[in-house]
Chains A and B, each alone.
Chain A
Amino acid sequence: MTKAISVSGLHKRFGRTPALDGLDLEVESGEVHGFLGPNGAGKSTTIRVLLGLLRGDSGAAQVLGRDPWRDAVEVHRRIAYVPGDVTLWRGLTGGEVIDLYGRLRGGLDAGRRAELVERFDLDPTRKGRTYSKGNRQKVALVAAFASDVDLLILDEPTSGLDPLMEAVFRRCVAEERERGRTVLLSSHVLGEVEELCDRVSIVRKGRTVERGSLAELRHLTRTGVSAELATVPEGLAALPGVHGLDVRGDRVRFQVDTDKLGAVLRVLGEAGVRSLTSAPPTLEELFLRHYRDDGPGGGPDGGGGTGGGLDRDGGGTGGRDDSDGLVDGPVAR
């Protein structure tokens, strides 16, 4: 497989404020890659560097095998970009803008353009000033999907879209993947990412803190387990990987590091399981874990939530409240 995007050790500061602090990002050709992180983590800055709009201070970045700053024009012929907040010219119609962006890229597929205008239910004859936010977003999306390109860079592209249009968007991304195109999708709509993305990268404070397929990432987190047992085995709390054990009669609830799940289940099996539910971590939990500021001094969003059951480093068990709710999600299996 070849890399559509390859970034390593990217740094960028604005004045004294560091925006990117050694960020890494690898996107394989033909995959849909989720790009996640809290507000201000550096997602949009990274994307602007990938588009050659900003120049990284240090580190390497390649897009489609080229330097995005030096070869910006060549690279851009094969890229379509959709920002999260599309601004249009007041006096130009949506149709004019779609054609303009197509012309500025590698070209526009007229048939696909017509089909997309239909599917996104967009009136291309209206002037830019009369479009709502969602409709401005559609203009950029139609232009991107109808463009003849290899890589789509989408920065929170569905902000302002209604659920119906969001479904259209998801189908379009799936089609893009089938056509062998690469998509970098920055989004906060977790269902969207979970449904569409092959792999994700999570960034925080300008660094990549996690990357891999969703399955891999899940593996690194804890699964919530709730079981009714014949007898509660001795030393359950002492088993490696078990956290926040709560015993009420013969019912136990705890979280377990997913890579220790098998060993723990064997212990439970020996004790006689009457019923068992286990909840795999959702993407949302992955997010919350990484979005939290888990620095030693307590983050800005500290308070009750910080000690959540997903802290892998397991620090501060004394203060942990196991009914935090993060793992007691509705997902049951």
Chain B
Amino acid sequence: MTAAAPLPAPLPRPGGTRLLPAGTGTLLRLALRRDRVTIPVWVAANALMVLSMPGTLESLYGTPAARAALVRQMEAAASLRAMTGPLFGDSPGALTAWRVGVYAALLAAAMSLLVVVRHTRDEEESGRQELTASGAVGRRAPLTAALLTAALANGLLALLVAAGLAGQGAAGAVALGLGVAGVGMVFATAAAVAAQLTESARLARGLTAAVLGAAFVLRAAGDSAAADGASVWTWLSPLGWVEHLRPFAGERWWVLALFAAAVLAQGTAAYLLAGRRDLGMSFLPTRPGPAAGRLGTAGALAWRLQRGALLGWGVGFLLAGAVYGGLTEGASGLVGDSERAREIVERMGGGTGLTDAFVATTTGMLGLVAALFAVASVLRLSGEESSGRAEPVLAASVGRVRWAAGHLAVAFGGAALLMVLAGAGFAAGYGRDVPGVLAACLVQVPAVWVIGGVAVLLYGALPRGASAAWAVAVAVLLLGWIGPALDLPSAVLDASPFAHLPKLPGEAMRWGPPAALTGLAALLTAAGLAALRRRDLAS
């Protein structure tokens, strides 16, 4: 009997082409169907942020003289460049690329890494891919479909940016659009590699996000070291490549080759890995754990579940604090018109006195990022509930509030710990005014808690809409990073709890706002827990 005998003629491929692994088309449609809301929201928010820039920047720096002064200022002020990157031209377009290029790229990267992990490792971890992969689906089809989904999203974003900014100069608009989308694809492929290496989607997202954070800090360090972005640190960061493209300032198109090379290299690595491994497995064999466990309470369980993530965030905050602390040194060596420099920093949300303003702004940024941790940590509750893992715990002698309290203790305590670590790193890097720096970090904590409280309330009252807490956190993040530059009305800026904090160390400490915010956070949390006690548990 030969092996070939029993096979009848193969059926026609269901909607596939020879170029792509079998089933890619169907999986791509599945991914687009599942992301039909999320991707348009990400792309639209990002494009809106970029496209609203030229108008506001023109109103802020209306005259050529004002813009020229800004350029001189940026050349002189190392710590300012650390925030946004160097400024290569004085056209409204160049100003736009300078002010939001890095942040738009950061958002595109976040979107891309979430999309790719959601359609690769998430599917494997949940077990859904076992059934999809039993169909006529190539081993690399899920990865291909995920990368195509990310490519479509980034392509759409590039198109919107290019079309929307075309009035400022077509070449620059295209360069900025491609640069932003290029960073998106670099991190889409980075996430694709991470998704092959880890067994957990959460870890894959965490690893890629850590790389993204490192890229942001590297670029900041590089930009502060060299006025023209020539530092090797900037070259090492994909976020720095957006600057190197020089949109609206004599575009350097060859930089696009860097994006292409990175995407190609990482994509190839992911493809090689994807074709070689078992479904649901990683390359690191799982080691056996202890046969007996000491976990005995819901709180201990929450800590056990979250400690790894907290450790990762903690290391990140310590390092980011240290780097920014090191950059602060450079701020004192400032020359030129310090009046204008201070104004720029103020527009970034800082206070008075340039070094103090820099400390206030960077610690504020770290606070905004800590809010993301708070939301992620609070929403563990939601994940535990919707996956059905909460049910047996709550069916044991554990009340809902006690169960939730374990996770909330990690969320709120962890957020405070992160800011302490950031402060410690900052103090170590800066080496001066340790109490002032620590205070600047710690004063952020109440505002972080408010965002955490919002997440608790959303989770308790609207369990299915709990992920709206991410939208709140990202909105506050953007308000803090971009809002001042947009010259938004103060009523809008004040919607962020961070806007009410005293700008330490420059300003005098006011105890009223942090106390009020702490009270508000407690109120939100209590309301959320009360709602949680009353509602049905999602199954």
State in angstroms the CA–CA spacing of A106 and B13 once bound together. Answer: 8
Chain A residues, CB < 8 A from B489: none
CA distance A153 to B133 in the complex (A): 13
With a cutoff of 8 Å between Cβ atoms, the chain B residues found around residue A153 in the complex are 134
Interface code A101-121, partner B: CB below 8 Å = 1, 0 otherwise?
Answer: 101111100000000000000
B127 touches A15 (CB 8 A): no
Residue B128 interfacial (CB < 8 Å): yes
- Asked if B286 is an interface residue, CB under 8 A from chain A, the answer is yes
Give residues 41-60 of A contacting B (CB, 8 Å).
48, 51-55
The reply on B23 being an interface residue by CB < 8 A is: yes
Binding stretch for chain A, among B135-143, B173-181, B301-309, B373-381:
B135-143
Q: Is the Cβ of B287 less than 8 Å from the Cβ of A53?
A: no
A53 near B5: Cβ-Cβ < 8 Å: no
Once the chains are docked, how many angstroms separate the CA of A17 from the CA of B281?
14
Interface residues of B in 111-131 (CB under 8 A from A): 126-128, 130-131
B491 at interface, CB cutoff 8 A: no
In the complex the two chains form, is B286's CB within 8 Å of A103's CB?
A: no
Asked if A125 CB lies within 8 Å of chain B CBs, one says no
Interface residues of B in 123-164 (CB under 8 A from A): 126-128, 130-139
Q: State whether the Cβ of B413 lies closer than 8 Å to any Cβ in chain A.
A: no
Set B4, B10, B26, B287: member contacting A65, Cβ < 8 A: B4
Assuming A29-B6, A48-B279, is B128 touching A79 (CB within 8 A)? no
A14 lies within 8 A of B285 (CB): yes
Select one of A62, A72, A74, A140 contacting B10, CB under 8 A: A74
| Chain A residues, CB < 8 A from B1 | 2-3
Which residues of B lie under 8 Å from residue A14 when comparing CB positions? Answer: 281, 285-286
A92 in contact (CB, < 8 A): yes
Q: Does B22 make an interface contact (CB < 8 A)?
A: yes
Are B134 and A76 closer than 8 Å at their CB atoms?
yes
Is there a chain B Cβ closer than 8 Å to A252's Cβ?
no
B280 and A104: CB pair below 8 A? no
List the one stretch of A80-88, A271-279, A296-304 in contact with chain B: A80-88
Please name all residues of chain A whose beta carbon is closer than 8 Å to the beta carbon of B7 when the two chains form the complex.
Answer: 64-66
| A51 B134 Cβ-Cβ under 8 A | yes
Q: Complex: how many Å from CA A73 to CA B7?
A: 14
- Taking a contact as CB atoms under 8 Å apart, the answer to whether B126 and A2 are in contact is no
CA distance A3 to B33 in the complex (A): 40
Main secondary structure of the interface of B (DSSP, over half): loop
Interface flag for A91 (CB, 8 Å): yes
Most central of A15, A51, A91, A103 by chain B CB within 10 Å: A103
Chain B residues with Cβ under 8 A from A76's Cβ?
Answer: 133-137
Q: Are B6 and A2 in contact (CB under 8 A)?
A: yes
A90 to B385, CA, bound (A): 14
Check: B278 CB closer than 8 A to any chain A CB.
Answer: yes
Q: Which residues of A contact B34 (CB under 8 A)?
A: 89, 91-92
Is A263 positioned at the interface, with any CB of B under 8 Å from its CB?
no
Give A284-330 interface residues, CB cut-off 8 Å to B. Answer: none
A-chain residues with CB within 8 Å of residue B126 when the two chains form the complex:
87
Interface 1/0 per residue, A191-215 and B, CB below 8 Å:
0000000000000000000000000
**B15 and A101 within 8 A (CB):** no
User: Are B3 and A77 in contact (CB-based, < 8 A)?
Assistant: no
Contact with B along A132-146 (1 / 0, CB 8 A): 000000001000000
Does A100 have its Cβ within 8 Å of any Cβ on chain B?
A: yes
Closest to A100 in B: B30
Q: Are A15 and B286 in contact (CB under 8 A)?
A: yes
CA distance A73 to B18 in the complex (A): 13
The docked-state distance in angstroms from the alpha carbon of A2 to that of B8 is: 13
Report chain A residues within 8 Å CB of B139: 52, 72
A198 to chain B, nearest CB (A): 18
User: Nearest chain-B residue to A15 (Cβ)?
Assistant: B285
Assess the A104–B279 pair: CB atoms within 8 A. Answer: no
Q: Is B3 in contact with A66, judged by CB distance below 8 angstroms?
A: yes
B33 adjacent to A83 (CB under 8 Å): no
A3 to B130, CA, bound (A): 24
Residues of B close to A88: CB separation below 8 A: 128
- Contact assessment for A62 and B279 in the assembled complex, using a CB-CB cutoff below 8 Å: no
Q: What chain A residues lie within 8 Å of B127 (beta carbons)?
A: 83, 85, 87
Q: Is B519 an interface residue (CB 8 A)?
A: no
A238 to B1, CA, bound (A): 48
From the candidates B6, B10, B278, B279, name the one contacting A77 in the complex (CB within 8 A): B10
Residues of the A chain whose Cβ atoms lie less than 8 Å from the Cβ of B5: 2, 65
Contact partners of B278 in chain A: CB under 8 A: 48, 53-55
Q: Nearest-CB distance from A141 to chain B (Å)?
A: 12
B6 touches A103 (CB 8 A): no
Contact with B along A11-44 (1 / 0, CB 8 A): 0001111000000000001000000000000000
Asked whether B40 is an interface residue with its Cβ less than 8 Å from the other chain, the reply is no
The residue from B4, B134, B285 contacting A81, defined by CB atoms under 8 A apart: B134
Contact B135 A86 (CB under 8 A): no
Contact B26 A107 (CB under 8 A): no
How many Å lie between the Cα of A298 and that of B21 in the bound state?
A: 51
How far apart are A126's CB and chain B's nearest CB, in angstroms? 13
Q: Are A86 and B131 in contact (CB under 8 A)?
A: yes
Kindly state the separation between the CA atoms of A281 and B135 in the bound complex, as whole angstroms.
39
* Closest B residue, CB atoms, query A91: B34
Residues from chain A with Cβ under 8 Å of B312 in the complex: none
In the assembled complex, how far is the CB of residue A286 from the closest CB belonging to chain B, in whole angstroms? 29
* A-B pairs with beta carbons under 8 Å apart, 22 shown: A3-B1, A51-B134, A53-B130, A55-B278, A62-B3, A72-B139, A73-B137, A74-B136, A76-B134, A85-B127, A86-B131, A89-B34, A89-B128, A92-B34, A100-B132, A101-B135, A103-B26, A103-B135, A104-B135, A105-B136, A129-B386, A129-B538
